[in-house]
Structure 1
Amino acid sequence: MRKRSSFTSLSSHGTRWPANRRIAIVAAVAAVLLTITGIVALLTGSRNSHEDPDTAAPVPTSSPSASEAASKPSSGSGSVPKPPQLSEPVAYARAAAQMLWSYDTRDTSRDQQLAGMRAWMSTESEYADWASVFGQVPDPVLWSRMADQDQHANARITEGHYPGAFKQALAKDPSAITEAYLYVVTVNGKQTLSWKKGGRGAEERAVTLAVQCRPNHDCTLAAIAPSVTQ
């Protein structure tokens, strides 16, 4: 039996898209997916439908306010890696998932964590759902408690892929994606957490990301998306 952390972790589970961002992003992705009956329902369904509740890590108990989520922290990025210069959606999604599942409260403040994560985001406001990413970071009190325990985590990515429904729709109408160049990618991996006195735990992870990869530009992260795992 795996030993679980008793502390809050950054994980990509349990955050719902705000309505305005969800509508914009789903509308763009739906341009590719309209040929699949019911695909919009898939995209807006529960992100937890494929998770094992016994292995999911605890999530932040508070949600950011609209003004807080819209803020742009600028205090440096601490241990958060810089976004890679990649133009291939699956490769970028794999790197983004590893970033989301890795953190170190020993040398990175909450503001630095947010600033580092923000650097991965698309600058196109109609498609970028910063709140879905921001919501993965615990509130200041919980982050402080994690820091008191020197909590840190790293991740190993096992695979990334386009969900079947996305591939089928794209094959039927390849030109549909040219409106926003948003790609839906599901990534799987394993997160390892460590804390004081040799504490250690490991969790399987899965996340579906909306990645924007316009031609002749590096990819960026648009959102942590609802689950589309087919």
Structure 2
Amino acid sequence: MSDSQYGQGRSVVGRRLLIGLGVLLAVALLAGLGARLAGGGHASHPDTASPTPTIGAPSPSRSATATASAPASPTASDGDVPSVPSPPHTNSPTDYAKAFAAALWSYDTRRLTQAQEVNGLRLWLTSENQYADGASVEAQVPDPVLWSRMRDNGQFATATVAEAHLPSAFQTAIAQNPGALTTAYIYAVTVTGSQQIAWNGGGKGAEDRALTLAVQCRPNADCALASISQTVYP
């Protein structure tokens, strides 16, 4: 089965792209999500006194895994419950984005159902509901019918993450108005890498991958995913 079908089962309207900072609307980096910031205060992770964030990513508290490998067996061993990788404990938006991309681009239809895949990825979302765009995550996973067909073919994928960076438009916007970042502490991060796919009968293929994420990294707290953009920003 061609990997070109992966992630095409759903679409998300433009207003649910990245949960952006108001200043980014001017450069269209996190287009359409400014309205989320008008929704009210934050339910958790209250702001604490801290220096204004710099454009560079904060130092990681723990390094995130950048490469994901496929399970050795198509079935779980006794006592082993297959699952999507858990979020890393890090305050670096780039490390977090790398880890999420590795989890997203790696899947095994032989071990997980479509619902398990979706639910596992949704665990990466921020607990601040006004910023958590679960639909953008679900849109990246094949729908149940396509997943079932992929499972019939024993399809699975592994991922290699090459790098992650803050898009130039995001860096420019924040440099012009550093205070805007302290509203929601959401960073735009573009991740690039590759995906290797295999299926029954020795079939295999590979494709380059890239996506832009909105990653929330509040001071003194682990990062979390806010949204996945449909547009990749340089």
Q: TM-score, normalising length from structure 2? A: 0.72
Structure 1 position 229 matched with structure 2 position 233: yes
Q: Which moved more, 1:6-15 or 1:193-202?
A: 6-15
The DSSP-based 3-state class of the residue aligned with 1:209 is strand
The DSSP-based 3-state class of the residue aligned with 1:201 is strand
State whether residues 7 and 139 of structure 2, in contact with CA within 8 Å, keep that contact through their aligned partners in structure 1.
no
The aligned residue for residue 167 of structure 2 is 163
Q: List runs of 5+ in structure 1 lacking aligned partners.
A: 46-76
Q: Which has the higher helix share?
A: 1
- The CA RMSD over aligned residues, in Å, is 2.5
**CA deviation vs aligned residue, 1:85-122 (integer Å, no higher than 9, x gap):** 11100110111111111100111111211121011011
* Number of corresponding residues: 187
Q: TM-score, normalising length from structure 1? A: 0.74
Query: One-letter code of the match for 2:89?
Result: Q
Instruction: Pick the structure with greater CA Rg.
Output: 2
Distance 1:89 1:133, change over 3 A: same
**CA deviation vs aligned residue, 1:173-210 (integer Å, no higher than 9, x gap):** 22211110110000000000000011100000010000
The aligned residue for residue 22 of structure 2 is 30
Alpha-carbon separation, structure 2, partners of 1:85 and 1:167 = 24
Query: How much has 1:228 moved relative to structure 2?
Result: 4.9
Query: One-letter code of the match for 1:6?
Result: S
The aligned residue for residue 16 of structure 1 is 12
Query: One-letter code of the match for 1:222?
Result: A
Query: How much has 1:11 moved relative to structure 2?
Result: 4.1
Alpha-carbon separation, structure 2, partners of 1:167 and 1:13 = 32
1:107 to 96, 107, 111: 111
The aligned residue for residue 53 of structure 1 is none
The aligned residue for residue 70 of structure 1 is none
Query: How much has 1:17 moved relative to structure 2?
Result: 3.9
Q: List runs of 5+ in structure 2 lacking aligned partners.
A: 33-80
The DSSP-based 3-state class of the residue aligned with 1:203 is strand
**Structure possessing the higher relative contact order (Cα contacts under 8 Å, 6 or more residues apart):** 1
Alpha-carbon separation, structure 2, partners of 1:140 and 1:98 = 21
Identity %: 49
